């Protein structure tokens, strides 16, 4: 079974990626499987740049096939913010709750029709020789007026899907994993992974 290192220590994100890649006969590990993990500066200007940095750096560090992922929320009324700063939107003492509260404060007087937003996810794949490929997926929605639901993480309690009249956090994993930004990015990444595995078997 081929091993794939997911460059994250976020257990909820790892669990989501495992669920979406289920059936690929991959053994997925996170950075928790390694000691003395070097830091990586997420100072790229785009989600793809950050995903590539993670994948390439840790493929060199581990010597393994690695998946780097960077994702976040872009809100139209905030000129695309929080964007690549989604995880640290509320500053040094960041948390999902603080990030969500800051977003609600900034959108306090904005009507629902003008609260359009989209999630973006970039996925990069690399091995010790370098970058293999990078893909991106997105999902559109609205920012709700208050958090609802307990599933998911990040901005999921605020990310409202009109079709279901529920937030991602209310929809739960089963539905979210068929329509999320991460699902669409990983769906594209699966093709790269499959080609890579076939090539490795052939060598």
Q: Report, as residue numbers or ranges, the catalytic residues.
A: 70
Checking 48-52 for CB contacts under 8 A at 24+ apart, the result is 48/122, 48/124, 48/134, 48/136, 50/84, 50/122, 51/122, 51/123, 51/124, 51/134, 52/124, 52/126, 52/131, 52/134
Edge-to-edge strands, sheet with 66-75: 26-30, 2-6, 66-75, 116-127, 130-143, 159-161, 166-167
Sign of CA pseudo-dihedral 51, 139, 8, 148: positive
Give the separation between CA 102 and CA 115, rounded to whole angstroms.
Answer: 14
Burial classification of residue 149, based on how many CB atoms lie within 10 Å of its CB (0-12 exposed, 13-18 middle, 19 or more buried): middle
Q: Do the Cβ atoms of 188 and 124 come closer than 8 Å?
A: no
């Amino acid at each position: 079974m081929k091993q794939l290192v997911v460059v994250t220590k976020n257990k909820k994100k790892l669990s989501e990626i495992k669920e979406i890649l289920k059936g690929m006969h991959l053994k997925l590990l996170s950075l928790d499987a390694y000691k003395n993990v070097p830091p990586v500066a997420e100072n790229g200007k785009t989600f793809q740049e950050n995903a590539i940095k993670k994948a390439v750096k840790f493929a060199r560090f581990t010597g393994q096939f690695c998946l780097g992922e960077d994702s976040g929320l872009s809100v139209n009324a905030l000129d695309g913010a929080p964007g690549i700063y989604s995880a640290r939107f509320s500053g040094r003492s960041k948390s999902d709750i603080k990030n969500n509260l800051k977003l609600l404060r900034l959108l306090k007087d904005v009507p629902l029709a003008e609260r359009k937003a989209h999630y973006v996810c970039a996925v990069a794949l690399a091995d010790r020789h370098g970058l293999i490929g990078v893909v991106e997926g997105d999902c559109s929605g609205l920012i709700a007026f208050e958090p609802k639901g307990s599933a998911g993480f990040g901005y999921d309690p605020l990310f409202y899907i009109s079709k279901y009249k529920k937030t991602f956090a209310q929809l739960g994993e089963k539905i979210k994993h068929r329509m999320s930004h991460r699902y669409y990015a990983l769906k594209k990444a699966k093709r790269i992974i499959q080609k890579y595995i076939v090539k490795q078997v052939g060598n």
